[in-house]
Amino acid sequence: MTILVTGAAGFLGTRLINALLTQPDAADAATRIIAADLTPSPITDSRVRSRTGNIVDRSFIDAIVEPDTAIVFHLAAVLSGQSEAEFDVGMRTNVDATRALLEACARLAQPPRIVFSSSIAVFGGPLPDVVPDDMALRPQSSYGTAKAIGELLIGDYSRRGWIDGVSCRLPTVAIRPGRPNSALSSFVSGIVREPLAGIEAVCPVPLDTKMWITSPDVVTQNLVHAAKLRTGDLNGQRSFTLPGLTVTPGDMLDSLERLAGPAVRARVRQEVDERMMRVVSTWPGAFDTRHARDAGFVADADIDTLIRAFMRESGY
C-alpha cells in the first residue's frame, strides 16, 4: 500500500508522517509513504520516499500518484496571508493543483481515500454564535474561497465514485514551533511561542477576539482518523469541522501567565492591525461539532493543557 502526503516537509506534514509510521499497519513491508513537497522530507526512514517538486506541475502530480496509491493526505497549500496578497499564486496551488491531483487519483484502478485539509475560513458573513457543520459556505477571503472549492470538488468526485474523499476543516493549529509562517493566524502561536523564548510579541487583534484552535498532536490524530472512516455511514456528509477550543488571545495570555509567570506575559503587547482584523474577524470562533465527534474525532481538553504540552515538547 502506498500513502501519498503532499506538503510533507512542512510542520504538519512531518508530524503526520511520523504518526503514520507508528500505526500498526505501517509495519507491513509493502507500506510506503511518498512525501511530496518543494523541499525534501526531514524524515529518514526506509518506508518514506521523498519527492521534491511543485504541486502546480502536472507532471510532478502524475509522478507522485503511483498505481497502488490507497490514501492521499492533501496538505499542500498557499496559506491565508499569501493567498490574500497573491491571488493567482493562491488559486494555482489551492484550486488548480487540487483539481489536477483529483484527476490523477480518478485514473487509479481503485478509488483512493483522500483526506483534504480544509479550513474554517470556508465560513463567513453573518453567522450564529455557534456555527453548525451544514452552514452555507460564504468565505470572506481568497484562501477560504479556494478551500470551499476544494471541498466541493472532493464531494463531487466522491459522488461519482472516482475517489473516496473526506474534507477536514482544520482549526487554527497552535502552538506551532519555529518561525512565523504566512498564515494570518500565525500570531496565535506567536503570542505564546515568542514570549516563552524571551522575545517580545505583538497581538494584532483585540484580546476578546474568539478563535477556534487545536493542538498539533490532536489535529494530527484527527487526520489519521479521517483516513480510516467508514464513509458509507456518512450519508454524503463528507466535510467535517474538526473539534477545537474556543479561546481568545486574552484567554491564551492568562494561561501563559499561569504557567510561565507574569514577566513572560508582559512580553506581549497589543497593536491592532486593521487589515488583518478585517479578515480574522470573519472567522467563526465556535462550532457545533457533533457530526465530527459522532464520527470519532476528538478535541483538546483545555487551553492550559494545550500550552503545557507545547512547553514540555519545547523544553520550557
Domain for residue 296, yes or no? no
C-alpha distances (whole Å) from 154 to each of 164, 181, 292 are 8, 27, 17
Domain for residue 10, yes or no? yes
Determine how many CB atoms are found less than 10 A away from the CB of residue 132: 13
Q: Mind listing the pLDDT tens digit for each residue in 248-291?
A: 999 999 999 999 999 999 999 999 998 888 888 888 899 999 99
Same domain, yes or no, for 41 and 190? no
Annotate 118-170 with DSSP letters as a single string. Answer: EEGGG--SS--SSEETTSPP--SSHHHHHHHHHHHHHHHHHHTTS-EEEEEEE
Domain for residue 80, yes or no? yes
Same domain, yes or no, for 91 and 149? yes
Helices (H), 65-123: 80-85, 87-91, 97-106
Which residues make Cβ contacts (< 8 Å) with residue 64, sequence separation at least 6?
4, 6, 34, 36, 51, 53
Same domain, yes or no, for 97 and 6? yes
User: Helix (H, G, I), strand (E, B), or coil: what is residue 182?
Assistant: coil
pLDDT at 206 over 90: yes
Q: Look up the domain containing 268 and give its range.
A: 186-211+245-286+301-314
Same domain, yes or no, for 252 and 202? yes
Residue 96: DSSP 8-state: I
Mean pLDDT of 199-218: 95
Residue 2: closest CA among 46, 86, 67, 74: 67
Mean pLDDT of 20-24: 89
For residue 274, what is its C-alpha cell? 486593521
The structural domain count of the chain equals 2
Distance CA 86, CA 234 (A): 36
Q: Which residues pair with 167 in a beta bridge?
A: 116, 239
Domain for residue 51, yes or no? yes
Residue 10: DSSP 8-state: S
- State the average pLDDT for the chain: 94
Supply the residues annotated as catalytic. Answer: 143
Determine how many CB atoms are found less than 10 A away from the CB of residue 88: 9
CATH of the domain at 41: 3.40.50.720
Same domain, yes or no, for 235 and 308? no
| Predicted TM-score of the model (pTM) | 0.93
Same domain, yes or no, for 132 and 220? yes
Domain for residue 294, yes or no? no
Residue 281: closest CA among 50, 126, 113: 126
Q: Mind listing the pLDDT tens digit for each residue in 84-133?
A: 999 999 999 999 999 999 999 999 999 999 999 999 999 988 999 999 98
Same domain, yes or no, for 156 and 63? yes
Same domain, yes or no, for 234 and 124? yes
For residue 279, what is its C-alpha cell? 479578515
CATH of the domain at 272: 3.90.25.10
Annotate 247-287 with DSSP letters as a single string. Answer: E-HHHHHHHHHHHH-HHHHTTEEE---HHHHHHHTTS-S-E
Same domain, yes or no, for 50 and 151? yes
Containing 4, the helix (H) or strand (E) segment is strand 2-6
Same domain, yes or no, for 226 and 258? no
Same domain, yes or no, for 190 and 131? no
Q: Mind listing the pLDDT tens digit for each residue in 137-189?
A: 999 999 999 999 999 999 999 999 999 999 999 999 999 988 877 677 889 99
Same domain, yes or no, for 146 and 115? yes
